[in-house]
Copies of this chain bind each other. A is one copy, B any other.
Amino acid sequence: MQNWQDYQKQHKDRFLNELLELLRIPSISARSEHKPDMLACAEVVKQRLLEAGVDKAEVYPTDGHPVVYGEKITDPSKPTVLVYGHYDVQPADPLELWHSGPFEPVIKDGKIYARGSADDKGQFYMHVKAFETMVRTGSLPTNVKFIIEGEEEIGSPNLARFVTNNKALLKADVILISDTAMLSLDTPSIDIGVRGLSYIEVEVTGPNRDLHSGVYGGAVANPITILAKMIASCHDENNHITIPGFYDDVVEATPAERELMAKAPYNEKEYMKELGVTSLWGEKGYSTNERTGIRPTLELNGIWGGYTGEGSKTVLPSKAFAKISARLVPNQKAGAITEKLLAYFTKIAPPGVTVKAQEHHGGEPYMTPIDSKAYKAAAKAIEATFHKSPIPVRGGGSIPICSLFEKELGIKIVFMGFGLDSDNLHSPNEKFDVVNFYKGIETIPYFHQFFAEA
Contacts and interface: CB of A to CB of B under 8 A. Distances in A.
Given A207-B276, A299-B213, A307-B301, A220 B314 contact: no
B218 A277 contact: no
Q: Is the interface of A mostly helix, strand, loop or mixed?
A: loop
Interface residues of A, number: 102
A411 interface: no
A302 interface: yes
A304 B301 contact: no
A257 B348 CA distance: 37
A255 B328 CA distance: 57
B428 A32 contact: no
Nearest to A320: B303
Contacts of A265: none
A181 to B, nearest CB: 7
A302 B306 CA distance: 4
Nearest to A296: B218
A302 B292 contact: no
Given A301-B306, A310-B30, A220 B280 contact: yes
Contacts of A300: 222, 224-225, 228, 305-306, 317
Contacts of A207: 275-277
A106 B62 CA distance: 46
A235 B361 CA distance: 34
Nearest to A214: B397
Contact of A323 (B227, B302, B313): B313
Given A231-B228, A281-B220, A31 B310 contact: yes
Given A154-B311, A219-B271, A314-B426, 17 more contacts: A29-B311, A94-B210, A155-B312, A181-B215, A197-B314, A211-B426, A211-B427, A213-B325, A214-B396, A217-B299, A222-B299, A225-B234, A225-B299, A227-B303, A279-B351, A299-B316, A312-B361
